[in-house]
């Protein structure tokens, strides 16, 4: 019993020390001293490999190497080490997602990104799963697999109908439908995007695209109303004003 109490007391001391080291490294990170922060995080992992802070420390090493130190390959190695050492820890899903994003955004290696997003998508972490599904579909689209991309986006919005990526997924589904001549389906997706959108830029794009659908289906007055609503917000003022004048002319001619 005494030995057990002594061991537990020793663990508590190590946990407190690891927490202090993690806090000190994080302070260096926020101060912008990224090399020092990375060195301190790595030291923590070496000295306290079983600490609950160890996976967080490795995660921030990987993030810092990629974003601030320009060490992309080292960043990938760090995230892979995290997944190897702590596959069931809290930061494992985020590490796998970051690996996928590095191949996607860092290397433009879309086939490899697809492979890595497929590994990230099954995690139970809802944020990681939704982002992985959206980006998986995006990369599938980029490599010409539009049908598979469509199915993936549909699966995403079915599972996360009001998630953080729902508005852009609905918008992309609308664009796919429009490109195939499915105007009514496209309009329905754009409306869904507007229903859930919290992003001003996406909302403007979805409204403009919806107006195009209405125009294509000869609902000219409804389309004109949306273009006029968008005029004060649209970045290219001249382009939308030309659109409005052309549509007004069409409406007048149609009334003859």
CB contact at 8 A, 44 and 18: yes
Backbone angles phi, psi at 125, to 5 degrees: -60, 115
Residues in the chain predicted with pLDDT less than 50, given as ranges, are 1-11
For residues 62 and 198, what is the distance between their CA atoms, to the nearest angstrom? 30
DSSP H or E segment with residue 74: helix 72-85
Q: Rounded to 5 degrees, what angle do the CA atoms 137, 168, 127 make?
A: 70
pTM over 0.85: yes
**Considering only CA atoms, which of 75, 69, 59 is closest in space to residue 26?**
59
Q: Tell me the pLDDT tens digit for each residue of 97-131.
A: 999 999 999 999 999 999 999 999 999 999 999 99
**Considering only CA atoms, which of 122, 121, 102 is closest in space to residue 112?**
102
For residues 193 and 153, what is the distance between their CA atoms, to the nearest angstrom? 13
Q: Tell me the pLDDT tens digit for each residue of 62-97.
A: 999 999 999 999 999 999 999 999 999 999 999 999
């Amino acid at each position: 019993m005494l030995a057990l109490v002594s061991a537990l007391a020793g663990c508590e001391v190590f946990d407190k020390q690891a927490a202090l080291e993690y806090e000190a490294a994080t302070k260096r990170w926020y101060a912008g001293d990224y090399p020092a922060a990375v060195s301190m995080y790595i030291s923590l992992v070496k000295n306290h490999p079983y600490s609950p802070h160890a996976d967080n420390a490795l995660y921030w090493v990987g993030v810092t190497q990629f974003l601030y130190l320009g060490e992309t390959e080292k960043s990938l190695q760090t995230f892979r080490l995290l997944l190897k050492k702590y596959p069931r820890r809290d930061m494992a899903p985020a590490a796998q997602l970051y690996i996928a994003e590095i191949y996607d955004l860092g290397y433009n290696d879309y086939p490899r990104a697809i492979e890595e997003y497929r590994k990230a998508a099954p995690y139970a972490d809802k944020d990681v799963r939704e982002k992985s599904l959206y980006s998986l579909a995006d990369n599938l689209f980029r490599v010409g697999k539009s049908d598979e991309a469509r199915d993936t986006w549909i699966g995403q919005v079915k599972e996360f109908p009001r998630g953080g990526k729902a508005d852009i997924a609905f918008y992309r589904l609308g664009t796919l439908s429009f490109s195939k001549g499915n105007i009514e389906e496209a309009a329905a997706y754009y409306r869904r995007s507007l229903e859930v959108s919290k992003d001003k830029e996406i909302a403007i794009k979805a409204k403009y695209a919806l107006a195009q659908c209405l125009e294509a289906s000869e609902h000219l007055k409804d389309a004109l109303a949306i273009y006029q609503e968008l005029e004060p917000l649209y970045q290219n003022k001249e382009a939308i004003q030309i659109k409005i004048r052309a549509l007004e002319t069409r409406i007048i001619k149609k009334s003859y």
